């Protein structure tokens, strides 16, 4: 498969994160219920997955449901629980056939329906040996919650204060084997990270686009990667 024009195959980001924002506004502009925006976002998810596969991205993390999203209207939350379960049932075989390993990041607390957790576990089991790309679904996820949970594990493991360092915390995050994102894209024109991968994005390149998530497609991803490749990543150093 040919690389899209203007993209250097040697500098494709290993890990891309997406804050999928704008579903509600997309629906409101069309006089539709907010849930219709979420439904329309499914096409964006899987075209973006295809685009990431085309580029050779090794890890793609999608922010599907945050720890703060429980504050939304109850009807919308119920819809999102069923919608996410439905996506797994409808799409996991397709992802499996494409060599995608589906993983999850977030808390599995009492608020997540048991039926959805079963679907998550079934998907994990089905795709666990796939190696083409990791698709990480951040569900019931919050960056602060992840850091709190890592610190709790430090305490439970009896780590002394003198031995607490970045590595000690890093190894206790939800998916410590996945490298930090090189690139994070947020849709809908908002310029904030919204509690997404707070530890991991310390040196990520951030790109904000006005495109609402249901309208996002692989070409938008390609544009973000082109912008990413035009930047100089210094990681706090001074390039000479």
Give the integer Cα–Cα distance in Å for 169 and 149: 10
Q: Which two tokens stand for residue 94?
A: 């397709």
Q: Is the pLDDT of residue 58 over 90?
A: yes
Give the integer Cα–Cα distance in Å for 211 and 188: 5
Q: What is the pLDDT of residue 222?
A: 98
Q: DSSP alpha helices (H): ranges in the chain? A: 23-28, 34-55, 74-97, 114-127, 143-156, 166-170, 218-230
DSSP run (H or E) holding 139: strand 133-141
Q: What is the pLDDT of residue 232?
A: 86
Q: Across residues 122-132, what is the average pLDDT?
A: 98
Banded pLDDT at 73 (limits 50, 70, 90): very high
Catalytic residues: 21, 69
Q: What is the pLDDT of residue 101?
A: 98
Each residue of 178-223: pLDDT tens digit?
Answer: 999 999 999 999 999 999 999 999 999 999 999 999 999 999 999 9
Supply the mean pLDDT for the chain. Answer: 96
Q: Is the pLDDT of residue 236 over 90?
A: no
């Amino acid at each position: 498969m040919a690389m899209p024009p203007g993209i250097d195959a040697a500098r494709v980001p290993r890990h891309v994160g997406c804050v999928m924002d704008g579903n509600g506004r997309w629906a409101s502009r069309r006089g539709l219920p907010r849930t219709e925006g979420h439904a329309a976002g499914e096409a964006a998810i899987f075209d973006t997955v295809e685009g990431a596969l085309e580029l050779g991205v090794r890890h793609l993390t999608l922010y599907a449901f945050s720890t703060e999203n429980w504050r939304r209207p109850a009807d919308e939350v119920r819809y999102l629980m069923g919608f996410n379960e439905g996506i797994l049932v409808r799409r996991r075989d397709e992802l499996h056939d494409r060599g995608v390993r589906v993983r999850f990041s977030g808390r599995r607390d009492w608020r997540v329906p048991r039926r959805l957790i079963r679907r998550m576990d079934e998907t994990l089991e089905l795709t666990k040996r796939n190696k083409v790309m990791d698709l990480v679904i951040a569900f019931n996820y919050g960056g602060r919650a992840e850091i709190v949970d890592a610190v709790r594990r430090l305490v439970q493991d009896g780590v002394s204060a003198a031995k607490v360092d970045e590595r000690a915390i890093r190894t206790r995050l939800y998916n410590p084997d996945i490298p930090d994102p090189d690139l994070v894209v947020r849709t809908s024109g908002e310029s904030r990270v919204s509690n997404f991968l707070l530890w991991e994005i310390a040196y990520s390149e951030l790109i904000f686009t006005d495109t609402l998530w249901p309208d996002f497609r692989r070409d938008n991803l390609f544009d973000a990667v082109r912008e990413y490749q035009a930047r100089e990543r210094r990681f706090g150093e001074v390039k000479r």
